[in-house]
């Protein structure tokens, strides 16, 4: 990780709710413990939460009844990210900014800043900010990149349900090659340039284009591997893919 003590995490909704109607309580408990441990080390966190399986459930249900335009598919997804975000903010209530950030440009009150006072001074105000989806056409990965630009942070941890970027779908192809490092240009060749509501890729292609322009790195890890997650936060060698300029 960079020297910044403010960490941006794009947290996949699929690891919060891996199956329809099921919340991964064990993961949330371990994730909470990990984040609180690093808050004591004077880190701050911005966590953007995806919609995952819940999002796709609602999109599928509506599409079986009516022809669903992309804008409505997007709004269903946005509201499920807000539900997941509120769940996360609730379990971090003591240390979290009291309101979900549902617009990456919205001013923040209550003294939340991405920087900490010197070690000789006590930390004041919330240490963790939880963000959700924003508006149609913009994924939570895109929100993560916008917030990285806003707060001048050059790395994003993308904690989803895959451990690496592969050259092809590893669930279909046994000979799929995992990348430890890949450029944004190479990544975009793999996933294309278009994004649609509910698209399942490790990192949204539109967000990837903006991240490349801003020279922001993304660290792709499997979010449920908590020990590996901790290695990322410590700046140690970790299991995953680095996407960079």
pLDDT in tens, 30-64: 999 999 999 999 899 999 999 988 888 998 999 99
Q: Is the pLDDT of residue 194 over 80?
A: no
Tell me what pLDDT residue 112 has. Answer: 75
Q: Give the tokens for residue 202.
A: 């490790």
pLDDT score at 210: 96
- Angle of CA points 134, 151, 115, to nearest 5°: 125
Instruction: State mean pLDDT over 185-200.
Output: 78
> According to the model, what pLDDT value does residue 121 have?
64
pLDDT for position 178: 94
Q: What are the start-end ranges of the E strands in the chain?
A: 6-11, 44-49, 128-131, 155-160, 165-166, 178-179, 181-183, 217-222, 241-244
Average model confidence (pLDDT) for the chain? Answer: 90
| pLDDT for res 1 | 47
In the chain, domain spans: 6-244
β-bridge partners, 147: none
Does the domain made of 6-244 have the CATH classification 3.40.1160.10? yes
Kindly report each contact of residues 117-121 with a partner whose C-beta sits within 8 Å and lies 24 or more positions away, as own/partner. 119/42
pLDDT (tens digit, 9 = 90+) per residue, 81-110? 999 999 999 999 999 999 999 999 999 986
φ, ψ at 26 (rounded to 5°): -60, -45
Of all residues in the chain, what percent carry a pLDDT higher than 90?
Answer: 71
DSSP 198: T
Say yes or no to pLDDT of 65 above 90: yes
Contact 6, 87 (CB under 8 A): no
Q: What is the pLDDT of residue 126?
A: 85
State CA 87 to chain mean position distance. 15
Which strand (E) or helix (H) includes residue 14?
helix 13-16
Give the model's pLDDT for residue 3: 41
52, with CB counted inside 10 A (0-12, 13-18, 19+), is: buried
pLDDT at 110: 67
Q: Tokens representing 89?
A: 């903010």
Predicted pLDDT at 169: 83
230: alpha, beta or left? (left if phi > 0; alpha if psi -120 to 50):
alpha
**What is residue 140's predicted lDDT score, i.e. its pLDDT?**
94
| CB neighbour list of residue 4: distance below 8 Å, 6 or more residues apart | 153, 154, 155
- What's the confidence (pLDDT) of residue 201? 80
* Spatial CA neighbour of 149 closest among 212, 216, 101: 216
Residue among 44, 227, 238, 228 at smallest CA distance from 153 = 44
> What does the pLDDT look like over 95-154, one tens digit per residue?
999 999 999 999 998 667 777 666 666 666 789 999 999 999 889 999 999 999 999 999
pLDDT value at residue 180: 96
- Helix, strand or coil, per DSSP, at residue 195: coil
């Amino acid at each position: 990780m960079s020297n910044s003590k403010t960490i941006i995490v794009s947290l996949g909704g699929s690891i919060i709710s891996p199956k329809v109607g099921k919340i991964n309580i064990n993961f949330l408990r371990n994730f909470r413990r990990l984040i609180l441990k690093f808050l004591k080390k004077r880190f701050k966190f911005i966590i953007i939460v995806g919609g995952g399986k819940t999002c796709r459930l609602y999109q599928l249900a509506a599409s079986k009844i009516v022809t669903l335009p992309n804008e409505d598919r997007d709004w269903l997804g946005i509201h499920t990210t807000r539900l997941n975000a509120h769940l996360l903010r609730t379990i971090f209530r003591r240390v979290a900014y009291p309101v979900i950030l549902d617009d990456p440009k919205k001013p923040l009150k209550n003294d939340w800043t991405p920087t900490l006072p010197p070690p000789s001074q006590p930390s004041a105000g919330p240490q963790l900010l939880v963000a959700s989806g924003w508006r149609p056409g913009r994924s939570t990965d895109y929100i993560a990149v916008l917030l990285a630009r806003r707060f001048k942070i050059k790395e994003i941890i993308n904690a989803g349900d895959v451990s690496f970027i592969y050259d092809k779908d590893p669930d279909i192809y046994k000979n799929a090659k995992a990348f430890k490092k890949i450029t944004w240009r190479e990544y975009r060749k793999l996933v294309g340039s278009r994004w649609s509501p509910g698209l399942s890729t490790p990192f949204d292609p539109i967000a990837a284009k903006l991240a490349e322009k801003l020279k922001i790195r993304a660290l792709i890890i499997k979010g449920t591997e908590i020990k590996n997650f901790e290695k990322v936060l410590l700046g140690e060698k970790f299991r995953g893919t680095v996407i960079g300029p």
